[in-house]
Structures are given as structure tokens and as C-alpha cells.
Amino acid sequence: MSLIRALVRLHPASFRERWGPALEADARAAGHRSWPNLLASAVGLWLHPVVWPAKSPSQRHHRAAAMAFALTLATWFVGRAATTNDPRLTWRAHRTLTVADCAAFMLLGAVLILPLPRPTWHAAATLVRKSLRALAAPAALGAGALLFVRTAHPAELSAIRPLVTAVYWLTLALTAIQAARIVATVSASAVTPPSPARLRPGIATLAAGGALTAWIGLSSTTAGHGFDALSAATGGCVLILTGMFLSILRDLNEY
């Protein structure tokens, strides 16, 4: 496969179906100078799923919801990793707010943006089947690790503690990825995409929760003794994710 074809294949499927052959032909005509431009357009399109060719406005809303849900899981994962490894973020250093409080606030936003299952047996069966298939691997991995921790000899356990920790984080990451995939790929016959009236306040809530988490992270960098790089990295990451929430909100207003 040529590099140009590979770069075209990085674009979202619905965009490729509509514009792929023409994009590839023009990129071939432009030669290697088009490579950075193709890469930038692929990244730009993945960050703005609302603009992909769609059959209906509700398909655009579903994509916005799926993107916002994926960002919510990413924010949760970053927050969870940071609070596990950095005690400063779990302190009530800000008196009224912790990362856990922000996560609870974001849960409210996530509930607002999630597509609702249709009240039919077909929809319920589709969702259960899809969830079981998608979450089987991370569930098996997590259950295996848990079983090992409960039954292993303490000496044996301390020897492979890093491996167990790695499996724990891998399980969490896989669960988050698969949950995001379920929401993104579930068919319109099984769920009703959220209306803009639900999506906008939901995404605004998520952005506010993200901004508060970023603020906690960034302001914790100098809260203890000296500069804390992990708090700074957490705050920076969540700030970027917050910007992405706001970008979906802007797309919803524009398209």
C-alpha cells in the first residue's frame, strides 16, 4: 500500500466513501507535498465528527455524543491515574473540591449525552449482545488478575506486583475503549440519539467538569513542597480534553 493510500485510509470511513477516490487522485497529482496536509486533514476530521457526511442530523448528534462520551472516559482515566499516583490531587487542597467531586459532576453530563435505548426487545437484545461481546475481554482479564491476587502466595505476589499493576491499568483502558466503541457503533435501530436540547447542556456540563479538574491539577503543581510535574501533566491533559469538549459544542452550533 502506498503512503498516500495509507494517509487517505486514516480519514473517517464516511468521509472516505464520499470523497476518498477524488482525494487520493488529487493527492497523487500533488505528490509528496500533500503528505502533511493529508495527515492534518485526517486529524482535523477525527476531532470534528459532526462534519462527516451524514444521512440525517440525528446521525451527527449521535457522533457528537459518541465523541463527548469518549472524551469523558479519557478524562476519567487521566483523573484516575493521576489521583492514584499523586496524593496531592486527592487532598482537599482546594477546600471545597476534589477530582472525585468533578468526576461525579461529569457523570451527570455523561447521563445527559448518552443515546437512550429504544423500548423494544430487539433494542435490548442488541445492546446486551453488543456489550457482552465488547466487554468480555477486559472482564476476563480483570477477573483473571483478581483471582490471581486472591489466591497467590504473598511472596509470589510481591515479585510480580508491577505486572499485576500493568494488567489492572490495561483492564481499565480496554474497558474505557470498548465502552466508547459500543456508544459509537450502536445502530440507530437500538438507540435514540440525544436531541440538541439534551446534548448542549450535557457537553457544557462535561466541559465545566473538565475545566474544574484541570484547575485542580494545575493549581496543585505548587500546592505542596516544590513543583509537581504529575499534577501539571494531569492539568495540561485535562485542559486539552476540555478544549475538545468546547470544540464539539461549537460544531453543534455551527452545523
List interacting residues with another protein (CB under 8 A): 15, 18-19, 21-23, 25-27, 29-30, 33-34, 36-42, 44-45, 50-54, 60, 254-255
Q: CB 50 → another protein: shortest distance, Å?
A: 7
HSE-CB for 118 with a 13 A CA cutoff: 14
Q: CB 214 → another protein: shortest distance, Å?
A: 24
CB 191 within 8 A of CB 126: no
- Read off the amino acid at residue 202: G
119 or 254: CB nearest another protein: 254
Nearest to 140 by CA among 183, 174, 94: 174
54 or 152: CB nearest another protein: 54
15 or 69: CB nearest another protein: 15
Cα torsion through 178, 14, 20, 10, rounded to 10: -20
Q: How far apart are the first and last CA of the chain?
A: 35
11 or 88: CB nearest another protein: 11
Q: CB 165 → another protein: shortest distance, Å?
A: 41
Cite the DSSP H helix spans in 86-186: 99-113, 121-151, 154-159, 161-185
88 or 200: CB nearest another protein: 200
Question: At 225, phi and psi to the nearest 5?
Answer: -95, 110
How is residue 241 written as a grid cell?
Answer: 480534553
Q: CB 134 → another protein: shortest distance, Å?
A: 29
Q: CB 27 → another protein: shortest distance, Å?
A: 4
Q: Which residue has the cell 497529482?
A: 29
21 or 87: CB nearest another protein: 21
Q: CB 142 → another protein: shortest distance, Å?
A: 40
Cα separation, 201 vs 194, in Å, equals: 11
Nearest to 77 by CA among 120, 12, 138: 138
